[in-house]
Chains A and B, each alone.
Chain A
Amino acid sequence: QSVLTQPPSVSAAPGQKVTISCSGSSSNIGNNYVSWYQQLPGAAPKLLIYDTNKRPSGIPDRFSGSKSGTSATLGIIGLQTGDEADYYCATWDNSLSVLRVFGGGTKLTVL
């Protein structure tokens, strides 16, 4: 059971937009920055978003991040078949027993 809750799957057609939610608590998302990762099948995770809403160089502006309260959201517009992957949110947790946390992951299917 992950500390951060993501929907197991989302789907949309090519060219459309999708959002992936990541729900936490005041000890993690509520008081810390969020990062997002894309994992293609058989590959290591790749950083998509850091500091909640910043994109590393080379990540297209089709990807965006936001946060409200204890939830964060990854948005993808202009979906492409190559976006089909697993997506994970992550942040720091201020509680004593858990230091770094990931969401359970969301499988994006581009229909």
Chain B
Amino acid sequence: QVQLVESGGGSVKSGGSLRLSCAVSGFTFSDYYMSWIRQAPGKGLEWVSHINNGGSNTYYADSVKGRFTISRDNAKNSLYLQMNSLRAEDTAVYYCARDDFRSGLFYAYWGQGTLVTVSS
């Protein structure tokens, strides 16, 4: 079955860095675009970034552009999010999700999330 497992979250001081990982199994990873989506405590979902299946095209929300870098290793079935210059407002649970398309985009599979806490 499809599984996505995030890791790498934790507590970090403002200005610091973290690298999140998402290990996937149960599908051909290299066939799918992948996304990072976050949820601040008590808040709604926010798309952060996505990457095409080959890793050559990346897209970012304005709130993280220039600070976060999404990447993937198809040989390792893994997705990454390098987060630099972290701010308090980046505190959130970060989910990786598989991009699915039929007529439109949707997210059928999500990881369990990993919590990132940024303190000042």
Chain A positions within 8 Å of B, measured between CB atoms, are 2, 32-35, 37, 44-47, 50-52, 54, 56, 86, 88, 90-92, 97-105
Flag whether B107 is at the interface (Cβ < 8 A): yes
Chain B positions 28 through 67: 1 when the CB is less than 8 Å from some CB of chain A, otherwise 0: 0000000101000000111100100000000101100000
Assembled-state Cα–Cα distance A99/B113 (Å): 22
Q: Is B102 interfacial (CB 8 A cutoff)?
A: yes
- B residues with CB within 8 A of A: 35, 37, 44-47, 50, 59, 61-62, 95, 100, 102-108, 110-113
Determine chain B's interface SS by DSSP, over half rule.
strand
**Do A102 and B44 touch (CB < 8 A)?**
yes
Q: How far is the CB of A28 from chain B (nearest CB, A)?
A: 11
Partner of B113, one of A33, A44, A51: A44
How many whole Å from A103's CB to the nearest CB in chain B?
7
Are A35 and B105 in contact, with the CB atoms below 8 A? yes
In chain B, what residue has the closest Cβ to A103? B44
Q: Which residue of B has the minimal Cβ distance to A97?
A: B62
The 9 A-B residue pairs with the shortest CB-CB distance, nearest first, are A33-B104, A35-B106, A50-B106, A100-B47, A105-B44, A44-B110, A102-B45, A51-B103, A104-B44
Listed A/B pairs (17) with beta-carbon separation below 8 Å: A2-B44, A33-B104, A34-B104, A35-B104, A37-B45, A45-B95, A45-B110, A50-B102, A50-B104, A51-B106, A90-B45, A91-B105, A92-B104, A98-B62, A101-B47, A102-B47, A104-B44
